[in-house]
């Protein structure tokens, strides 16, 4: 597999657990976008207009997360920070609340569990919320996990199942002698496959409760604050993740303006955050696609090459379902109907050349050795991202 981010490692784990020989190539496992991701498992709050099919995939994967988390914790022996308090979505002003309500109406129309709450009900749940908050809603099934714990746990699980990690980048698919190749290379998939995957920059802050304490709130909070959108993710460790900008850029610079906007919105929603320590400001690159949906399945004209990339904001929540769907394809199962809207051939692009000369940014290539039948594959060569260790397929 090319890439040892969460997507690549989860596929490697699942494939190795089914008896395949798995080699994962990545010069810096776990150092990509998952280092920046907040880890929100939010099929409800992340359900947006015009993304009905993607919302269905998000909901399916979120439903798999409890079992996935329990199995991973058992196999790896690690605490991955999986929490189920739910998510509060709040509006600070009348205009903010009106914007949020339009989205809630759409989400409820899809049958998603969104429960509107009055300001007093919100503060009963989270007294730390600002008195200015005009209203909100509870998405009880939107949970969270800590990506910085998740990736090491996936690595342990994959290695215990028999996968081998090799610290090497993949620059061209022709380097991989494979019967079946799975490319889960995040932004690096564009160079490898010609798929329309682009970097979408996001800047994120990490705060810490003063005095080594824990945050003064338990729920993930997604705020509409004077026109700014912000999310606040509390950790048991005392950390609070504050994010995130969405920028059509490919640099990794942290700007003063972004820090200012995020902090202002965060403190407007939860005033006590003004007293927290600012411990990190970091930027990462989401792998975006033209329709904001992932690319899953065989490349056009290349049935031996499977893509698992382009997850944009949703790499963490989509990890379980992506791993299951791609592993089924690698091991000879028929395509699941869930894959139909996300096939690579929905784009009019030339992917038959095996990619350009640039290294894979982050991802996984599942390889079957040439002397092993392609279905099932006998060897998965998961080669992770290149020296640009900022581009795995995970963000929220």
Q: If you write DSSP's letter for every residue of 49-105 in order, what string do you get?
A: TT-HHHHHHHHHHHHHHHHHHHHHHHHH------B-S-EEEEESSHHHHHHHHHHHH
The residues, any chain, with a CB within 8 Å of residue 316's CB and separated by 6 or more, are 6, 34, 37, 39, 40, 41, 145, 147, 150, 394, 395, 396
Catalogue the long-range contacts made by 71-76 (C-beta closer than 8 Å, 24 or more residues apart).
72/150, 72/153, 72/154, 72/157, 73/153, 75/13, 75/156, 75/157, 75/160, 75/161, 76/152, 76/153, 76/154, 76/156, 76/157, 76/160
User: Which pLDDT score is estimated for 351?
Assistant: 52
**pLDDT digit string, tens, across residues 7-39:** 999 999 999 999 998 888 888 887 778 889 999
- Chain centroid to Cα 177, Å, comes to 29
Determine the Cα–Cα distance for residues 161 and 21; give it in Å rounded to an integer.
10
**pLDDT digit string, tens, across residues 210-261:** 998 999 999 999 999 999 999 999 999 999 999 999 999 999 999 999 999 9
User: Which pLDDT score is estimated for 170?
Assistant: 84
Task: In the chain, list all ranges with CATH 3.50.50.60.
Answer: 6-38+61-75+147-194+295-382
User: Which pLDDT score is estimated for 394?
Assistant: 67
Peptide linkage before 376 cis (omega within 30 of 0): yes
Determine the Cα–Cα distance for residues 176 and 355; give it in Å rounded to an integer.
12
pTM: 0.89
Q: Are 302 and 196 in contact (CB under 8 A)?
A: no
Mean pLDDT of 343-355: 67
**pLDDT digit string, tens, across residues 162-217:** 999 988 888 888 887 777 888 888 998 899 999 999 999 999 999 999 998 999 99
Task: In the chain, list all ranges with CATH 3.30.9.10.
Answer: 87-140+200-288
Q: Are 396 and 316 in contact (CB under 8 A)?
A: yes
Sign of CA dihedral 94, 100, 103, 109: negative
Which CATH superfamily, name and number, covers 87-140+200-288? D-Amino Acid Oxidase, subunit A, domain 2 (3.30.9.10)
Residue 360 tokens, joined: 């894979």
* Res 94 pLDDT > 50: yes
Query: Hunting for tokens 């599942």 — which residue is that?
Result: 366
What is the rounded average pLDDT for all residues in the chain?
A: 88
Mean pLDDT of 306-334: 94
**pLDDT digit string, tens, across residues 264-295:** 999 999 999 999 999 999 999 999 999 999 99
- Would you put residue 238 in left (φ > 0), alpha (ψ -120 to 50) or beta? left
User: Which pLDDT score is estimated for 180?
Assistant: 84
Domain 6-38+61-75+147-194+295-382: give its CATH code. 3.50.50.60
Sign of CA dihedral 208, 214, 217, 220: positive
User: Which pLDDT score is estimated for 377?
Assistant: 31
């Amino acid at each position: 597999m090319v890439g040892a981010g969460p997507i690549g490692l989860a596929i490697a784990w699942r494939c190795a657990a089914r008896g395949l020989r798995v080699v994962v190539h990545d010069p810096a496992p776990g150092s990509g976008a998952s280092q920046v991701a907040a880890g929100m498992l939010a099929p409800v709050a992340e359900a947006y207009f015009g993304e009905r099919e993607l919302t269905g995939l998000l909901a399916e994967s979120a439903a798999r997360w409890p079992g996935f988390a329990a199995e991973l914790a058992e196999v790896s022996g690690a605490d991955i920070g999986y929490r189920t308090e739910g998510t509060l979505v709040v509006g600070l002003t009348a205009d903010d609340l009106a914007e949020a309500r339009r989205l809630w109406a759409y989400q409820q129309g899809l049958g998603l569990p969104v429960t509107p709450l009055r300001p007093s009900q919100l503060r009963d749940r989270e007294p730390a919320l600002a008195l200015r908050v005009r209203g909100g809603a509870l998405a009880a099934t939107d949970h969270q996990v800590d990506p910085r714990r998740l990736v090491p746990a996936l690595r342990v699980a994959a290695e215990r199942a028999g996968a081998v990690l090799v610290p090497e980048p993949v620059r061209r698919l022709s380097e991989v002698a494979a019967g079946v190749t799975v490319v889960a290379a995040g932004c690096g998939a564009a160079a490898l496959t010609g798929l329309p995957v682009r970097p979408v920059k996001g800047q994120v802050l990490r705060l810490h409760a003063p005095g080594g304490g824990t945050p003064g709130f338990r729920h993930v909070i997604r705020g509409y604050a004077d026109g700014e959108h912000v999310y606040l993710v509390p950790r048991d460790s005392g950390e609070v993740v504050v994010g995130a900008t969405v920028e059509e850029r490919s640099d990794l610079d942290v700007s003063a303006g972004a820090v200012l906007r995020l902090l202002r919105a965060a403190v407007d929603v939860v005033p006590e955050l003004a007293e927290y320590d600012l411990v990190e400001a970091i930027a990462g690159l989401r792998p975006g696609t033209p329709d904001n949906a992932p690319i899953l399945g065989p490349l056009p004209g290349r049935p031996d090459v499977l893509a698992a990339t382009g997850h944009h904001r949703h790499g963490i929540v989509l990890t379980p379902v992506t791993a299951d769907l791609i592993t089924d394809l690698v091991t000879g199962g028929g395509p699941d109907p869930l894959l139909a809207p996300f096939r690579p051939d929905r784009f009019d692009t030339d992917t038959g050349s095996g990619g350009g000369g640039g290294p894979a940014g982050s991802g996984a290539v599942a390889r079957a050795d040439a002397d092993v039948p392609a279905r099932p594959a006998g060897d998965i060569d998961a080669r992770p991202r290149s020296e640009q260790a900022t581009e795995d397929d995970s963000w929220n």
